[in-house]
A and B are shown apart, each in its own frame.
Chain A
């Protein structure tokens, strides 16, 4: 027996289709080095950064998300996968900026005051970025002021808030009420998420939507932005 197992996969020897398939598997297994290597290979083969991002990374994470939702994968595996995707994104991000990938919209996101859970929020940030959103991540433990300052500075389409504690979820209402008071609530689409939340809660605090997971967040964000642009242009036509 040689040292090299016979079924050792050499990424550079796979054709494009096989390599992308392999990347989905490697993301699933949280293999960051392999993902980084494969991203480089596809770029060398002339793939655009945007295509690598969507077909290899985002699609791979979509599969991870489904198995997490269905209870097949657990938090550690999701974190490992996210970490592998992060490695790939770090290579692609500067290239995406250069090559002018499509820009879908802008989002400011952060975990609310008193809460320092950030795994879910980070995943949402990453998948939103992967879907073409410009994401400004405020991190954890955010008081009202830091949301309001960031909204003023970045003028996003969407404000996203995350909370994982029963004790911190009411703070989302504090933020939304502060926006109302300033008369700027309707300038933004407000999305909320985190395991203890649900649709009824989102409605009761005056958010636009609750999103169960990152995939739903991307879909909802796209829909609400399209809706908003339609109604804005309708308003323009009337005027």
Chain B
């Protein structure tokens, strides 16, 4: 996405995905990261959702003077806020996957939720769910097949919506315009 935009090259720092499972630790950990790398860069942007910090991430970022892409989680900014809100309202029982989650479904969802060790938990987790929606960032038949297998495994219907990078693209394009322009 960044390469094709012909914009200045930023440095990207990734955070461990398993932080999702302990949201109360996210804000302090992100603050450490920002303070650690901050002095080497002109500007820092956070491209993660609130991810269940209950607003704590934004309160911390405001104190640090760092901007974040708006939104509660990546599903919403990948799909687009209006569409996500409308989908969630119409069918609350949707479970969302992105390219990343489809690729690492076995590790992050199956093993992460312990379904490999305790297959009988599937219906306790997903009993209230009806549909898996794969919000695709790339148009890749192999990933679509994998998403279908994931849905089968969870006992859910599968729908694919190709939305590329959604609101993330616009945010990054805007962020990469040099300050002062």
Residues of B within 8 A of A116 (CB): 92-93, 128-129
Question: Contact at A197–B72, with CB atoms within 8 Å?
Answer: no
Known contacts A76-B114, A141-B92; decide if A197 and B121 are in contact (CB<8 Å). Answer: no
A155 CA / B45 CA spacing, docked (Å) = 50
Q: Is A77 an interface residue (CB 8 A)?
A: yes
Question: Contact at B124–A83, with CB atoms within 8 Å?
Answer: yes
14 A-B residue contacts at CB 8 Å? A75-B113, A76-B118, A77-B114, A79-B124, A80-B114, A83-B121, A114-B88, A116-B129, A119-B125, A166-B55, A195-B52, A197-B54, A198-B54, A201-B54
Interface string of A149-172 (1 = CB under 8 A from B): 000000000000000111101000
Interface string of B109-126 (1 = CB under 8 A from A): 000011101101100110
Interface of chain B residues 1 through 46 with chain A (CB within 8 A):
21-24
A114 CA / B87 CA spacing, docked (Å) = 11
Task: Specify which of A79, A114, A195 is in contact with B121 (CB 8 Å cutoff).
Answer: A79
- A residues at B contact (CB < 8 Å): 30, 71, 74-77, 79-80, 83, 114-116, 118-119, 140-141, 164-167, 169, 195-198, 201
Interface of chain B residues 73 through 122 with chain A (CB within 8 A):
73, 88-89, 92-93, 113-115, 117-118, 120-121
Known contacts A116-B92, A164-B52, A166-B55; decide if A195 and B129 are in contact (CB<8 Å). Answer: no
Interface string of B54-67 (1 = CB under 8 A from A): 11100000000000
Known contacts A30-B118, A76-B117, A77-B114; decide if A118 and B128 are in contact (CB<8 Å). Answer: yes
Nearest-neighbor residue (CB-CB) of A32 within chain B? B120
Q: How many contacting A-B pairs (Cβ < 8 A)?
A: 65
Residues of A within 8 A of B89 (CB): 114
A79, A83, A115 — which one has the most chain B CB atoms within 10 A of its CB? A79
Nearest-neighbor residue (CB-CB) of B114 within chain A? A76
Task: Specify which of B21, B54, B115, B124 is in contact with A119 (CB 8 Å cutoff).
Answer: B124
Residues of B within 8 A of A166 (CB): 50, 52-55, 72-73
Residues of B within 8 A of A165 (CB): 52, 72
Residues of A within 8 A of B121 (CB): 76, 79-80, 83
Question: Contact at A195–B23, with CB atoms within 8 Å?
Answer: yes
A167 CA / B87 CA spacing, docked (Å) = 14
Residues of A within 8 A of B115 (CB): 76
Task: Specify which of B23, B93, B113 is in contact with A196 (CB 8 Å cutoff).
Answer: B23
A183 CA / B55 CA spacing, docked (Å) = 30
Residues of B within 8 A of A80 (CB): 114, 118, 121
Residues of B within 8 A of A141 (CB): 92
Nearest-neighbor residue (CB-CB) of A118 within chain B? B128
**B78 CB, min distance to chain A CBs, angstroms:** 15
The 10 closest A-B pairs by CB, nearest first: A76-B114, A196-B54, A166-B72, A116-B128, A196-B52, A166-B50, A167-B72, A141-B92, A79-B121, A116-B92
**A127 CB, min distance to chain B CBs, angstroms:** 17
Nearest-neighbor residue (CB-CB) of A140 within chain B? B128
Question: Contact at B53–A196, with CB atoms within 8 Å?
Answer: yes
